[in-house]
Amino acid sequence: MRKTVFFSLLCAALVSSAMAAVPAKPPSIPDVLTVRAVAWDYSWKPATDKEWGARVVSDIAAAAKDGVDVVVFPEAFSQGRSIKFLLADAKLAAGADRLVVLGNTPYQEAGWDHAVSRAYILSGNAWQEMDKLDPTPAERAQKSPVKPGMRLPLFRFRGAVVAVLPAYSVEKPEISAAMKKRAVQLLIVTAPAEDEEGAARVSRAASARAVELGAAVVVATPASTPPALYLPAQKGFDLKPQTPSGRDFRLPWKKILDSRAQPDVKNESRPFLDPSPYYQIEI
């Protein structure tokens, strides 16, 4: 009897060891990726921060129930509130393997003579912080001036590299050049409520980033403005900016990832695959 039990335990241990030795399968690449730009109304005035936080968690839970892959809140949606108190509940509502972006909001610790504009990004079931790289002139001129962040974190998601930027930073071509080197294929732009000129700058810059990176660029706006999707300017893609009737975008994900394959001489040029320039710039 003891030999039988010992043999059974030994077999179980060997099976467990063998299973551990088998490398995990790489994640499958879906044909379609769904991104929801949450319709956040800046004019809403909740009675308490608790009520406000419950609304954020509820929106994330609703997106998860609908099978949305990426959930994005616009920049400054917290209207100056702290976001940290709801992160645990938001993570629970999101479920496993979902990307959630809580757009930038002012953050200042005790003793600081400055502030930062901080976004929280849920990736790999863990929250990461990102401070705005390029505060606007108005943010720099505040009583507690907003100082720029020093790092742009990238995220691996569904087989691709993803970047998140607030609206002002997407207008900086040097940031685009850095993302090109890292082969970013999805860029999420969290936009605030802007005037006509500001919205035009963001939309034109987002379109350029889609061409330069060969990436999908989603501009997530407040409820007062429709969000937009820009796809690579290549054969087989819709070349016009897309604004859905709702707030969900269905990205041709596998096609976007496949677009990085090296084209043959008969195909169109792909600027995001060109090597470093050989020329010099002079004046």
d(CA 170, CA 99): 20
pLDDT at 279: 82
Please state the pTM of the whole predicted model. 0.87
Measuring CA to CA, which residue among 173, 82, 186 is closest to residue 129?
Answer: 82
Structure tokens at 128: 């990461």
Alpha helices in the chain (DSSP H): 2-21, 49-65, 87-94, 137-140, 167-170, 173-181, 196-213, 253-258
Q: What is the pLDDT of residues 194-234, one digit of tens each?
A: 889 999 999 999 999 999 999 999 999 999 999 999 999 99
Confidence class for position 72, pLDDT limits 50, 70, 90 = very high
Q: What is the pLDDT of residues 9-60, one digit of tens each?
A: 334 433 333 334 444 455 578 999 999 999 999 999 999 999 999 999 999 9
Measuring CA to CA, which residue among 195, 199, 196, 216 is closest to residue 207?
Answer: 216
User: How is the chain split into domains, by residue range?
Assistant: 28-261
Instruction: Check residues 156 and 2 and name the one with the higher pLDDT.
Output: 156
Give the strand order in the sheet containing 228-230.
154-157, 160-166, 186-190, 216-220, 228-230
In the chain, count H helices and then E strands: 8, 11
Q: Report whether pLDDT(125) > 70.
A: yes
Structure tokens at 36: 């929801």
Q: Report whether pLDDT(129) > 80.
A: yes
The amino acid present at 39, given as its one-letter code, is: A
pLDDT at 49: 94
pLDDT at 185: 97
CATH class of segment(s) 28-261: alpha beta
DSSP assignment of 98-154, as one string? Answer: -EEEEEEEEE--TT-SSBEEEEEEEETTEEEEEE-SS--HHHHTSSSPBPPPS---E
